[in-house]
Structure 1
């Protein structure tokens, strides 16, 4: 079964020349990030290096966040497929509480995997930060939480679980507090258990 995943959102197949330009722009942007860091990414510079018009870059990607979404697209799709249709406990087939507890550490690994690009997304507008992957993560968690903690508001709880899993906080915890990725994942599991375990 295939899923329509809300990452970049290409509506129709591209013309061959548009597809070539898109791939060229993505390759140039990835190379520039590798050389100079994600925070230095400029759409004007990308256009110049890719030998395409600035208008082409803006029309294709909209803004810097749109270009970053394109750069993270492949790994993000693999992650989404894992929790939407992969094996349990991350995928369907496990108890909802187990799936929440599996999802949070998996998301931490996802953030660490492309931390620089995700940091770049987070300094954009709130609209950019909370669209695309965040919206799907929220919907996924809210659906699981609705089964584990009625009558609590599952949408609020989903936001509460996602809030500490942003790239800026994880980066700070690792660099300034000296936390390992495993320690952060343990904390996230503890938080998930506190919200999903039956109250006695």
Structure 2
């Protein structure tokens, strides 16, 4: 039996040996959006909870946006431009809108990867930061969490006037689901914080 796995960018073909009764389990997908850009803009302007993004941004001096690194296929080229447009309309200029690559303990993104993650136009027009979990001086200590986890988060994110995370949520082998708040911790956390979060105590 020959099957195609969704692996990497082009997929992986594999020939399964005869004998076992193989069965390919496929998910049930939601119907695709007719207009993706319009759907994103509607979500930003009329969210299910809280005020619109532009209203949140008004009066803020700066913004920081955490995005996934190259290991996560988040559709930033679709979702980021409408966000940036609303920040500018609200009065936050490009030079005070910092985009942080939430690497966690991964290596920094290369210049080519930044173009792929953000699109070359955005990569060239906004301040970009590759988070470095090993640089303690780049982090602010926010105290200890309930179970004793030391909370060190990237200073450039913490000190911004408006905090945004932009990613996606996916199933995770050990944690149930991945994404959302993980853009901040471990994504923008110091290595000490990450070690606590990735210890057996939290991963079981």
Task: Name the larger-Rg structure.
Answer: 2
Looking at secondary structure, tell me which structure has more helix per residue.
1
TM-score (normalised: structure 1)? 0.33
* Structure with the larger strand share: 2
Name the TM-score, length of structure 2 as normaliser: 0.32
